[in-house]
Amino acid sequence: MIPGVELVIMGKQGAGKGTQATRLCRHYVIPHISTGDIFREAVRSDNDLGGRVREYLDAGELVPDDLVLAVIHERLEKPDSQERGFMLDGFPRTVNQAKDLDEMLKPSGGLDVVVNLDVPTDIVLERLAGRRVCAECKANYGTERPPELEGVCDVCGGTLQRRADDTDAGIRRRLELYEEQTRPVLEWYEDQGRLVSVIATGGVEEVTDRLIAAIDTQLNRR
Ligand code: AMP
């Protein structure tokens, strides 16, 4: 088995983070930690966290840092991430979150690689308009990768739905926030020499191969 690694996957909404993170986590045998999935699940199960984050998710706004950081601290303390490492998806989204993560990971020497999925905005807009997500297993589908049976997940048979925040206004707002708050995070990691950017257009498998090659090169340098 490949030894544990600590990775972050970044990219605009619709760049393919969820799809590629699932595939990369299988390859590196690490848990996939998506703050968006954690929050959506909390809203769905209507628990205390769900009640506190629902309005932010619906509006496409960022959840306040104290809540996001509490969720991440708790998740990274679990034995799977302690033993194997992790792939963070959707976190960090602000420089403040990145700084907090740096502090958290100081004892282990910090993140191994931050990989950025580089996709032009016109392509992500097209993908988001057609995006459908399985309500059960969270698998993603779209015009480039439709399910075999309309509305039904190939993986688990669950129902495919449009994400509640994939409205025109929600998409626009999230892309704005990406430019304002998240692009500086890329610069933060670039300055640390941890960032690799990969052109993420083309077939899903082809992009995964490119990502693994880029991550392995960076891992070998460390
Ligand atoms: P995502 O699935 O990554 O697009 O996240 C969906 C929504 O969850 C975002 O629009 C935010 O409302 C919230 N969210 C997820 N991750 C974060 C984060 N790191 N910081 C703040 N809000 C987040």
pLDDT tens digits for 76-86? 999 999 999 99
Say what the pLDDT of residue 194 is: 96
Instruction: Give yes or no for residue 30 having a pLDDT over 70.
Output: yes
Radius of gyration of the chain (CA): 17
Residues with catalytic roles: 17, 93, 131, 163, 174
CA-proximal residue: ligand 1, atom 11 (nearest): 62
Contact (Cβ atoms closer than 8 angstroms) between residue 16 and residue 120: no
- Position in ligand 1 atom list of the atom nearest CA 59: 12
- 117, 202 contact by CB (below 8 A): no
pLDDT band at 2 (very low <50, low <70, confident <90, very high): low
For the residues 177-206, what does the mean pLDDT come to? 96
Give the C-alpha separation, 88 to 69, whole Å: 13
Helix (H, G, I), strand (E, B) or coil at 152: strand
Q: Is the pLDDT of residue 173 over 60?
A: yes
Ligand 1 atom closest to residue 89's alpha carbon, by position in its atom list: 3
Nearest CA to ligand 1 atom 19: 91
pTM: 0.91
Percent above pLDDT 90 for the chain: 84
Taking the C-alpha atoms of residue 118 and residue 196, their distance in angstroms, rounded to an integer, is 10
Distance in Å, CA 90 to ligand 1 centroid: 6
Residues whose CB falls within 8 Å of the CB of residue 150, separated by 6 or more in sequence, listed in order? none
Identity of the highest mean pLDDT range in 81-85, 92-96, 130-134, 161-165: 92-96
Q: In the sheet where 195-199 sits, what is the strand order?
A: 32-34, 85-89, 5-10, 113-118, 195-199
For a ligand 1 pocket test, name from 93, 101, 177 the mutation site with the most ligand atoms within 8 angstroms of its C-beta.
Answer: 93
Ligand 1 centroid from CA 213, angstroms: 28
Place of tokens 């490119």: 210
What average pLDDT does this structure show over 52-57?
96
Query: Which pLDDT score is estimated for 221?
Result: 74
The structure tokens 């991430």 sit at: 81
Least confident of 49-58, 84-93, 141-150: 141-150
* pLDDT at position 212: 97
Contact 215, 115 (CB under 8 A): yes
| CA–CA separation, 101 and 91 (whole Å) | 9
Residue 1 has pLDDT above 80, yes or no: no
Cβ of 39 closer than 6 Å to ligand 1, yes or no, is yes
